[in-house]
Amino acid sequence: MRDDPRAPLLPTSPGFWRSPLRGPRFTAVLGLVLLVGVTVLFGTGLLSYAACNPGLSPVNDKTPDKGVLGFYLFAWPTDPHWLYRLTQGVHVTLGITLIPVLLAKLWSVVPRLFTLPPARSLAHALERLSLLLLVGGGLFQFVTGVLNVQLDYVFPGSFYPLHFYGAWVFFAAFVAHAALKTPTALRNLRRLREEPGDLVSPRPAEPTVSRRGALWFVGGASLLLFATTVGQSLGGALRRTALLAPHGGADPGSGPNGFQINKTATHAGIDRAETGADAWRLVVTGRTGTVRLSRAQLAGLPQYSAALPIACVEGWSTPDQWWRGVRLRDLAALVGHDDPPDLFVESLQRHGAFRKAALRANQVADPRSLLALYVNGEELSPDHGHPARIIVPAAPGVLNTKWVARLTFGDL
Amino acid sequence: MRPPRIPLGSPFRLLLLACSFALAAYAGVRLLAGDWFGVALWIVGAALLHDLVLLPLYAAADRAVVRGLDAVGRRDLTLYVRVPAALSGLLLLVWFPLIAGLVEQRYRSATGLPADVFLGRWLLITAVLFGGSALLAALRLPRLRRAANRRPPAVH
């Protein structure tokens, strides 16, 4: 088809948009995929927020002014021990996988951005304003998430409040949009023939690919992102398939301490002089007073083992590692708490948002929760928290404090 | 003559949107509590950058590929160029900070992993995508063309 010399040039003219792919059915398919996908993202995001136990103590709470947005918070369980590995792996991997669907969906409806008249009614005007929150808020969530897992902290503020409050702004617009559009989308899919709509180009260009082909392409793009990312959450030999994900490829080392590291000892500002056998003492405080223990004394206490993963808020995780050390409940009993209470943990770490962290009584009471001294049969390496680190089943990595200096048992 | 009345629209839609805006505002004041200008700029800027820069750019690039191949009489190659180019571009878009080495120092220091591998991996994936596409084209196009030659030419 030749280009019409009288072609309208402004994007506000329906004839400006010439792709024969656009149409209500194409948009409906992408929209329904996002309806399910974004709902799962929001749900797993809320779970990740709850997993940090922000209601427990101010040190865990990066969003102290959350108000009713924390209405659903609950004591994060320790069973199953891979719980956070699963929920956060799904959150990050699904988010990355949905990017092509999001881009295709936005492409499919872009003519509507330029629709004239700008508003046919008050409700229509408000709906278009709400779309700014939907599109801007949605892109904000995806962009901040993708940047954060790559450690590129260029966004305007701390990630936790931005991504949490941003999620609520986006979700408010998303729910309204879904309620208004899902019935139409389902109707469009059930119809055998496409009904003409404002998305169908009035003068379509000659097709270079079928609609079905375009949907296959979007699915293929999602599959490519999925395949080059998911390995960082599965670990083992599959980690090498995550070619572009931040914790894909080979492990940082070999041997018992060779598994993935969130923050190295050097990065956390750990001074070797403070962690040596002569200098380091664990200070344990509780109901009956304070006890100071050297690493040799800790190693002399009854030792227990637990096979637990490291699961990071960034979505990557390791398979179960074999940790060995002193049970947190035994340390609680040592300072007079036979019934394990909450625990306040402090690290030698100089900086980092979670150098102090609180654990809830149910986490302290779990017999698999350890102050670990060994991993996979060897002493902890400096990068994995030597002389001693916390390891708790199902807890996010940030709560598994490394280079522990002080444990304070009791109500927070 | 009476001034034209502004139509309200569906009351259900109005109520739903009011509810949505109220919740968005409740979270929004908290979102904007810090660097409000920066955050607002990011949200509005993300929508504008996507709709007015990224989308026109990739649409124009796609049109250039289609027209360019059309001009040299190789329209049948369009998909074989478009698909690997789009996939490679998508990977670059998502993993740009790692591929471009924007966070090299922090990444290496934090994770203990080498930071200079991502550009090479992306280039290799791109090579595989284009190579696979070329192989497919070499295998499929001659057969399609032979089949087309056996049919009487279509009337335009």
Number of structural domains (chain A) is 2
Is the predicted pLDDT of residue B151 greater than 80, yes or no? no
Chain A residue numbers with beta carbons less than 8 Å from the beta carbon of B125 are 228, 243-244
- Whether residue A161 sits in one domain with residue A21: yes
Partner-chain contact A262 B90, CB within 8 Å:
no
Region of B96 please: left (phi>0), alpha (psi -120 to 50) or beta. alpha
pLDDT band (50, 70, 90) for residue A1 = very low
Question: What's the whole-model pTM score?
Answer: 0.94
In this prediction, what percent of chain A has a pLDDT beyond 70? 97
Find out whether A372 and A301 touch, Cβ atoms under 8 Å.
Answer: no
My answer on whether B32 and B101 are in the same domain is no
Are residues B138 and B78 part of one domain? Answer: yes
Q: Are residues B19 and B80 in the same domain?
A: no
- Res A389: pLDDT: 97
Are residues A183 and A320 part of one domain? Answer: no
Indicate the number of domains in chain B. Answer: 2
Cβ–Cβ of B47/A127 closer than 8 Å? no
- Is the predicted ipTM greater than 0.85, yes or no? yes
Digit-coded pLDDT (tens) for A138-191: 999 999 999 999 999 999 999 999 999 999 999 999 999 999 999 999 998 887
B78 and B144 share a domain?
Answer: yes
A122 and A27 belong to one structural domain:
yes
The dihedral sign for the CA sequence A60, A62, A67, A73: negative
CATH number at residue A365: 3.90.420.10
The answer, yes or no, to whether residue A123 has pLDDT greater than 80, is: yes
Could you tell me how many residues make up chain B? 156
Q: Which of A71, A158, A208, A209 to mutate to test the interface with B (most CBs of B within 10 A)?
A: A208
Which residues in chain A are contacts of B71 at CB distance < 8 A? none
- Phi/psi for A100 (5° steps) reads -60, -35
Instruction: Name the 3-class secondary structure at A389.
Output: strand
Q: What percent of chain A has pLDDT over 90?
A: 85
Let me know whether A205 and A323 are in one domain. no
A351 in any annotated domain: yes
Q: What is the pLDDT of residues B66-115, one digit of tens each?
A: 999 999 988 889 999 999 999 999 999 999 999 999 999 999 999 999 99
Are B20 and A68 in contact (CB < 8 Å)? no
Tell me: do B91 and B142 sit in the same domain. yes
CB contact under 8 Å between B8 and A172, yes or no, is no
Whether A337 is in a domain gets the answer: yes
User: Are B52 and B78 in the same domain?
Assistant: no
Model confidence pLDDT, tens digit, residues A96-107: 999 999 999 999
Does the beta-carbon distance from B112 to A252 stay under 8 Å?
Answer: yes
Number of Cβ within a 10 Å radius of residue A43: 13
Same domain? For A223 and A280 the reply is no
Do A168 and B17 count as a contact with CB atoms less than 8 A apart? Answer: no
Taking contacts as CB-CB distances below 8 angstroms, the residues of chain A near B33 are 65, 161
Q: Distance between CA atoms of B58 and A109, rounded to whole angstroms?
A: 15
Contact A173, B46 (CB under 8 A): no
Among chain A residues, CA nearest to B66: A208
In the predicted structure, residue A2 carries a pLDDT above the cut 50: no
Same domain for A156 and A79: yes
Instruction: Report yes or no on B67 lying in a domain.
Output: no
Q: Quick check: is B86 in a domain?
A: yes
Could you list the residue range(s) of the whole structural domain that residue B116 is in?
74-151
**Cα separation, B64 vs B66, whole angstroms:** 6
CA separation for the pair A115, B40 (Å, rounded): 24
**Within-domain flag for B147:** yes
Average pLDDT across chain A, whole number: 94
Range of the domain at A362: 272-409
Contact across the interface for A140 and B91, Cβ inside 8 Å: no
Domain boundary among A172, A196, A227: A227
Is B65 among the domain residues? no
Band (pLDDT 50/70/90 cuts) for residue A6 is low
- Rounded distance, CA A161 to CA A147, Å? 15
Same domain, B53 and B104: no
My answer on whether B144 and B95 are in the same domain is: yes
In a domain, B4, yes or no: no
Shared domain for B89 and B50, answered yes or no, is no
Mark whether A307 and A161 lie in a shared domain.
Answer: no
Stretch B35-56: mean pLDDT, rounded? 96
Mean per-residue pLDDT, A390-410 = 97
- Tell me the mean pLDDT in the region A261-287: 94
Residue A142: inside a domain: yes
A152 inside domain: yes
Q: Please give the Cα distance from A321 to A277 (Å, whole number).
A: 25
The span from the CA of A383 to the CA of A66, in Å, is: 34
Q: What is the per-residue pLDDT for A325? A: 98
Residues B97, B144 share a domain = yes
Domain boundary among A173, A192, A227: A227
Residue at B43 is within a domain = yes
Using CA atoms, how far residue A186 sits from A28, A171, A202, A322, in Å, is: 7, 21, 23, 49
What does the pLDDT read at residue A401?
A: 96
Check residue A7 and give its pLDDT: 57
Cis peptide before A387 (omega within 30 of 0): yes
User: What are the C-alpha distances in Å from B145 to residues A197, B75, B137, B153?
Assistant: 37, 12, 11, 12
Name the token pair of A32: 């329904």
Counting one residue from A and one from B, how many pairs have CB atoms under 8 Å apart? 199
How far is Cα A32 from Cα A34, in angstroms, rounded to an integer? 5
Provide mean pLDDT across the span A54-65: 93
Hunting for tokens 């879904």 — which residue is that?
A178
Instruction: Tell me if A126 and B17 make a contact (CB, 8 A cut-off).
Output: yes
**Which three-class secondary structure state does DSSP give residue A280?**
coil
pLDDT at B4: 66
- Contact between A318 and A235 (Cβ < 8 Å): yes
Neighbours of A342 (CB within 10 A): 21
For B144, half-sphere exposure in the C-beta direction (CA atoms, 13 angstrom radius) is 9
A257 within a domain of the structure (yes/no): no
Q: Where does the pLDDT of residue B154 fall: very low under 50, low under 70, confident under 90, or very high at 90 and above?
A: low
* Whether residue B137 sits in one domain with residue B98: yes
- Please report, as a single letter, which amino acid is at residue A63: T
Check if the beta carbon of residue A354 is closer than 8 Å to that of residue A314.
no
State how far the Cα of B22 lies from the Cα of B28, in Å rounded to an integer.
9
Indicate the pairing of strand A389-391 with strand A370-375.
antiparallel
Residue A234 domain-assigned (yes or no): no
Q: Which residue of A has its CA nearest to B5?
A: A121
Query: Residue A2 to residues A327, B74, B156: CA-CA distances in angstroms?
Result: 77, 17, 12
Q: Is residue A1 part of a domain?
A: no
Report pLDDT for A351.
Answer: 77
**A282-286/A404-409 β-pairing:** parallel
Q: Which of A99, A244, A253 sits opposite B98 (nearest CB)?
A: A244
Given this model, what pLDDT does residue A9 score? 73
Instruction: Tell whether B41 and B93 lie within a shared domain.
Output: no
A360 in a structural domain: yes
Hey, are the CB atoms on A175 and B86 less than 8 Å from each other?
no
Report pLDDT for A116: 83
A156 → closest Cβ in B35, B78, B122? B35
Please state the rounded mean pLDDT for residues A202-217. 92
Domain assignment present for residue B3? The answer is no
Same domain (yes/no): A377, A301: yes
Mean pLDDT calculated for residue range A309-319: 97
Largest Cα span, chain A = 89
Whether residue A309 is found in the same domain as residue A364: yes
